[in-house]
Amino acid sequence: MTRFTVPDMSCGHCTAAIEKEIKSADSAAQVACDLGDHSVSVTSTLDSAALIAAIKQAGYTATPA
Ligand SMILES: [Cu+2]
């Protein structure tokens, strides 16, 4: 599992957009967003750089947590 901090993720719309983008890159990915601490946990075969790119594609900034 890889964990990221996404500070500009603030509501259910954000988490849905992030999940959708990650799953379009890896349909088997498991994504858990936590709005409480602005973290996204991902289980995927994609590497960290690819996951950050997918989150960026959704319009958010991710840094490794
Ligand atoms: Cu939002």
Q: Which domains does the chain have, with CATH numbers?
A: 2-64 (3.30.70.100)
Helix residue ranges per DSSP H, the chain: 12-25, 48-57
Q: How far is the CA of 13 from the centre of ligand 1 (A)?
A: 4
Q: How far is the CA of 15 from the centre of ligand 1 (A)?
A: 7
Question: Is 4 within 8 Å of 39 (Cβ atoms)?
Answer: yes
Q: How far is the CA of 9 from the centre of ligand 1 (A)?
A: 6
The pLDDT-based confidence of 47 (bands split at 50, 70, 90) is very high
Distance CA(37)–CA(53), nearest Å, equals 21
Q: How far is the CA of 63 from the centre of ligand 1 (A)?
A: 18
Q: What is the pLDDT of residue 45?
A: 97
Count of beta carbons in the 10 Å neighbourhood of residue 2: 16
* pLDDT tens-digit series, residues 4-42: 999 999 999 999 999 999 999 999 999 999 999 999 999
Q: How far is the CA of 56 from the centre of ligand 1 (A)?
A: 14
What pTM was estimated for this model as a whole? 0.95
